[in-house]
Structure 1
Amino acid sequence: MKRKLIQSAWIIVWSLIVTVFSCEEEIGPTPLENNTTPPGEVENVSVENLPGKVRLEYTLPDDDDLLYIVARYTLENGTEMEVKASYYQNSMLLEGFKGLSQREVSIYAVNRSETESAPVTVTVDPLEAPIFDIYRSIETSPDFGGMRIKAENSTEEDIALLVMQKNLQGDWEPLSTSIYTSASEIAQSLRGFDTIPQDFALVVRDRWLNVTDTLFTQIKPLYEVLMPREQMNPLTLPNDAELIASHTEVRDLFNGGTLEWYDSFFTSRTIDVGPHLVTWDIGKMTKLSRLHIWQFSEPIGGQRLYYYLGAMKSFRIWGANELNNGDLSGWTLMGEYEITKPSGLPYGQEDNNDLVAAQDGADYEISIEKPAVRYLRIECLENWAGGEYMAVSEVQVYGNPNL
C-alpha cells in the first residue's frame, strides 16, 4: 500500500513539473553569443549609381566579432528593402529602384550577437530602371490572328510585359497571354483574336512592381486558314530520307490521323546519313503562320510514349517556290525549333503533363517576315533517341494564301 502511495505522489509531482515548463513562454532562436557592445561603423562609403540599382563599397570596421553588413532603404513604391553582405565582402548591390529620384540608405555593421552599430546614412540617385528602355523599344504590328510584339531587353531583366484589353465593365485587365521573360530579344505573337480592329494597352513591370507608362495601340489581326490537306501532294527530292518500306509514305504526314501509329510518317533508321528530310507540296503559294505538329506515339508496355525513339526533338522547316535537286542552299529557312518535354523526366519516363501536351500537338510559329512559299521540307536534326531519323504523326499547315 505504501509503495502505491509513493508512486502516486511521484506521478503528481512529475505532472506539476511538466505543467510548469509547458506554461513557459516559447523562446525562438537566439544568438549563441551575448555581446551587447555595438561594432564600429563602416567607413569610406562610395556610391555607384546604375540603372535601377546602386553598388556600395565601404571599409569594414576592425571588429573580430563582426558578422555582416546590412543596408536598409525604401523603394519609390513604398516597399521596404534590406540587403545583407557577409564580412568577407566590402561591397553590396541594392536593387529595385525605379530611378531618377534620390533615396536614403542606412548601413549597419552587425556582430554575432545581432547587435547593430549606429547607422551610416548615404544618399543615392539611381539611374532610370531598365523597364523604361524596354518600354521605349516596344514595336507592335498585325500578325495572324493577333499581334506581334518586339522589344529590346539588353540587360536581360526579369520582366512582365503586360498586354491588356478592356473587360465588360470597360476596365483594362491583363490577358493570360501576357509575356513573362528575361530574354534579351523579345519577339512574340499573341493569337486567338478576331480579324477586326482590336484595342490593346501595354505596360512593362519588373519584379519589384515598378511599372512604366501605358502604350496604347490598335491592331487589326491578319486572317489565317488551315490549308486543305486534300490539296497537298507528296514529293521526293534526291536527298530526302529513305522511308520504312511498306509501312509509310509522305502522304501520312497530312492524312488526318493524329495519334495512331499506322497513320504516322517514318523514315528509315539508317545511321550516318545526316539529318533526315521530307518534302511536300501544300497546293499553292501561301504566307505561312504556323505548323501544328503531333509527335509520334510509340506503344511501349501498354502505354504511349511521345518523347521517345524517332519522335523529333529538334528540327527545321524549309520553304521554296521552285524545286531543285534538294540542295538546301536553294531553300528559305522558315524556322528552327526545339521540343521540350513538360515534365523534364529522364528519357523513357513520361507523366500526365507529357501525355496531355503531346495529344494536343503544338504550334511552331513562322515569322510573318518570311516569304510566301508553296513547297515545304522538314529536316529532323535530332530525335529523342539521339539519332536523326524521324517519326511524325501529323502536320497541319496554317497561313493565308491571299497575302
Structure 2
Amino acid sequence: MKNIILLSGVILYSVFCFTSCEEEGMDESIPVNPVMTPIKAVTAEDGAETVQAVISDKTRTIELSLKNLQSLSNVNVHLSIAKRAKLIAPSDTILKLDLTKPNEVVVNNLLKDVTYTLTATIPEFTMIDVSKHKAHLLSNDSRVLEGNIDKLWDGLRMSKPEAYDEVNYGNYLCGDPENAPSSFTYDIGETINLYRFRASLYWAYTNVCPKRYELWGYLGDGVPSQNGDWDEWTKLGDIDNSNSRLTDFGEGDNLYFEKDKSPKVRYLRLRCLENYKGTTSFSLSEVNVWGYNM
C-alpha cells in the first residue's frame, strides 16, 4: 500500500512540474500586426472635380495631379485613415494645404509612426475625357455610310493593322455622294487650348482610309452656324498619309500645337480630300484631343 501511495505521489509531482514548466515557458501575449495600408485615400478639390491621389505604401508617397487649378498654394485636401491606424500629423483630416512644396503626413500603424510625403503637380496638358464628346453635325456635313459617330469616342482604338477585334469591328464611315470633300463635326464638350489632336485609323492605308485630310476648328464665340459655312471655320492642320507605313499605324494621325499659338476651340471638323480608293469618303475608329492647362 505504501508503494502505491508513493508511486501516486511521484506521478502527481511529475504532472505538476511539467504543467508549471509549460506555463512558465508559454507566451500568452497577442502579436500586434501593423496596418499595411494606414492611409486609405487622399482626395483634393480640383476646381469642380475631386481628384484621387496615388498612394504608395512602399515608397511612402502620396501624389496628386491637378489639372483645373491655376495655383497649388491653397488646395482643399481630405485624408481617409484606416480604422486601426492613427493620424499623428497633421491633426485633422480636412485640410487646406500649400502644395507648392512637399507636405508630410504622419500616421501610426500600431507598431510605429510612419511618414508619407504628399506632393502635387499641375501637368502642362491633359487628355480630354471622351465621355464629354458628342456629335454636332452641320447641314453640309456628309451622310453616314457605316457605323455610328459615337463610335469615335468609345475609348477603343487599334494598336496595329487588322486588329479589328480591339474595336469590336466598329468604325464610323461618312461620305459625299458627289465626291466632294467629306466632313463631320463634333463637340469636344468644353473649350480648350488645343495641344494635340489624334485620329485613330480603321483601315491600314487602304480602302476608305483617309490619305489626305484636314482638321478645322471653330474659333468664334458661341455655337457655329448650322449651315456649316466654311468661312466661319479655320483650318488648323493638314494630315497626309501618302507615305505612311504599316509601322506608323498604331500611333494614329497626330497634330501638335505650340502653347503660344494654341487655338482655343470647342468644335472641331474633319474634312477628307482623298482616300485610298480615290474618293473622299473616310473611316476612323477613334478621335482624341489634349488641351493645355493655361
Matched, 1:362 2:253: yes
Percent identical residues: 26
**TM-fit CA distance, 1:272:** 2.0
Partner Cα separation in structure 2 for residue 251 and residue 366 of structure 1 = 26
CA distance in 1, matches of 2:182, 2:212: 12
How far apart, CA to CA, are the structure 2 residues paired with 1:266 and 1:332? 23
Provide closer, same or farther for how the CA distance between residues 264 and 361 of structure 1 changes in structure 2, counting only shifts above 3 A.
same
Please name the residue that 1:240 is paired with: 141
The code of the aligned residue for 1:229 comes to V
Indicate the residue corresponding to 2:278 in structure 1: 386
What does residue 149 of structure 1 align with?
none
Deviation for aligned residue 1:224: 0.9
Q: How many residues align structurally?
A: 160
Aligned to 1:283: 189
**1:264 paired residue number:** 171
In the alignment, which of 311, 315, 319 is matched to residue 209 of structure 2? Answer: 311
SS at match of 1:243: strand
Contact 1:309 1:383 in 2 (8 A): yes
Q: 1:250, CA displacement in angstroms? A: 1.6
Query: 2:246, 2:148 → 1: CA distance?
Result: 26
Shift, 1:370, TM fit: 4.1
Question: What SS does structure 1 have at the residue aligned with 2:143?
Answer: coil
For structure 2, the residue ranges without an aligned partner over 5 or more in a row are 1-121, 159-163
Q: Following TM superposition, by how much is the alpha carbon of 1:393 offset from its aligned partner in structure 2, in angstroms?
A: 1.6
Q: 1:271: Cα distance to partner? A: 3.7
- Residue 328 (structure 1) aligned to one of 221, 225, 230: 230
Q: Which residue of 1 aligns with 2:11?
A: none
Aligned counterpart, 1:296: 202
Task: Map 1:160-199; keep pairs closer than 5 Å.
Answer: none
The 3-state SS of whatever aligns with 1:267 is: strand
The aligned residue for residue 291 of structure 2 is 399
3-state SS of paired residue (1:393): strand
Query: CA deviation digits over 1:67-121, x for unaligned, max 9?
Result: xxxxxxxxxxxxxxxxxxxxxxxxxxxxxxxxxxxxxxxxxxxxxxxxxxxxxxx
Residue 313 of structure 1: how far off its partner (Å): 0.8
Cα distance in 1, alignment partners of residues 192 and 177 from structure 2? 34
Taking the TM superposition and a 5 Å limit, the aligned residue runs for 1:3-402 are: 223-244=124-145, 247-259=146-158, 260=164, 262-268=169-175, 270-297=176-203, 306-320=204-218, 321=220, 322-324=223-225, 325-342=227-244, 354-368=245-259, 369-400=261-292, 402=293
Distance in 1, matches of 2:291 and 2:279, equals 31
CA–CA separation in structure 2 for the residues paired with 1:263 and 1:309: 15
CA contact (8 A) 2:179 2:279 kept: no
Q: Is there any run of 5+ residues in structure 1 with no aligned partner, and where? A: 1-220, 298-305, 343-353
Instruction: Tell me, in whole angstroms, the C-alpha distance in 2 between the residues paired with 1:378 and 1:328.
Output: 12
Q: Distance in 2 between matches of 1:371 and 1:360?
A: 23
For residue 361 of structure 1, what is the amino acid of its counterpart? G
- What is the aligned partner in structure 2 of residue 29 from structure 1? none
Deviations 1:17-44 (A, max 9, x none): xxxxxxxxxxxxxxxxxxxxxxxxxxxx
TM-score (norm 1): 0.37
Q: Displacement, 1:388?
A: 0.6
Alpha-carbon distance in 2 for matches of 1:311, 1:276:
12
Provide the C-alpha distance between the structure 1 equivalents of 2:135 and 2:257, rounded to a whole number of angstroms. 21
Cα distance in structure 2, aligned partners of 1:370 and 1:396? 16
Q: Deviating runs (4+, > 3 A) in structure 1?
A: none
* Separation in structure 1 between the aligned mates of residue 206 and residue 139 of structure 2, nearest angstrom: 28
Check whether the contact 1:231–1:282 (CA below 8 A) recurs between aligned residues. Answer: yes
Root-mean-square deviation (CA), in Å? Answer: 2.1
Q: Distance in 2 between matches of 1:248 and 1:339?
A: 23
